[in-house]
Structure 1
Amino acid sequence: MRILENVISDRGSKYAVSGGPCASEDEAKAFIKALCRKKKFAKATHNTWALLTDEAPIKNDDGEAGAGMVILRMLEREDLRNHIIVVTRWFGGKHLGGDRFRHVQDAVRMYLEDLQSS
């Protein structure tokens, strides 16, 4: 499990991005469960994720409407299969509007760059 914490901060909201090998929806749920064993992530407002498998794309917005699709599209563009990416947000009290999608994209981009550089 690769975790990049505090990658973005905007108007009080903070973001982290994490991911790892994952081949099914059951594995994705287990990954989220393992991530949420870290108290900080369990208390997050949203743990939005997506996974591109050979069978089907899977996504979960976790209350951040549309964010799972943003992650999924980026996975498809990179053709990154059997690897979950989770964007975590701690809500800071101010609504971010459309900026929240830009932050999700930026977080995924940071994760992909980190993954490629290792």
Structure 2
Amino acid sequence: MRKFVEQVKMVLGKLYENKKIASATHNIYAYRIHCEDKHSFLQDCEDDGETAAGGRLLHLMQILDVRNVMVVVSRWYGGILLGPDRFKHINNCARNILVEEGYTPSLDETTRSGAKPRRPKSKKTK
């Protein structure tokens, strides 16, 4: 498990080498790593000062049952307060990239098949 945490730190370090990402007002991230041998998940999140955004991002990943993925959403304050809408924008951004990269079916595919997104067990492991 320590190996995975080190990999997360390494990925973040590499991202922060990019000056634009490093200068973001908030770099919100969450990750979920499936540990097959223990039948559990190593998961955590960080909201980087955007209160509750990391937890909401992790919750989205749990609902979509994504595995072995880390999502980072960078946000720059542009002078306009977004209020609660900021969470919608953060999660939409994350969901779009997860669909685009094939980690979860698109909303259209889910609707077409008649299936509902699966809710994972509420067991949280760090």
Superposition map of 1:97-116 within 5 A: 97-116=83-102
Q: Whose relative contact order is higher, 1 or 2, with alpha carbons under 8 Å and at least 6 apart?
A: 1
Distance 2:56 2:5 in 1: 18
Q: Structure 1 segments of 4 or more deviating over 4 A?
A: none
Paired amino acid for 1:65? T
Task: Give 2:68's aligned residue.
Answer: 82
Task: Give 1:30's aligned residue.
Answer: 10
Measured after TM superposition, the shift of residue 114 of structure 1 is: 1.0
Contact 1:70–1:104 (CA under 8 A) maintained in structure 2: no
Task: Give 2:46's aligned residue.
Answer: 60
Q: State percent identity of aligned pairs.
A: 36
Which has a greater percent of helix?
Answer: 2
TM-score normalised by length of structure 1 = 0.73
Number of residue-to-residue matches in the alignment: 95
- Listed as ranges, the gaps of 5+ residues in structure 1 are 1-22
Query: Quick check: which has more Rg, 1 or 2?
Result: 2
Measured after TM superposition, the shift of residue 99 of structure 1 is: 0.7
Give the root-mean-square deviation of aligned CA atoms. 1.7
Which has a greater percent of strand?
Answer: 1
Contact 1:24–1:82 (CA under 8 A) maintained in structure 2: no
Paired amino acid for 1:61? D
Superposition map of 1:6-17 within 5 A: none
Distance 1:34 1:98 in 2: 30
Task: Give 2:113's aligned residue.
Answer: none
- Listed as ranges, the gaps of 5+ residues in structure 2 are 36-40, 104-126
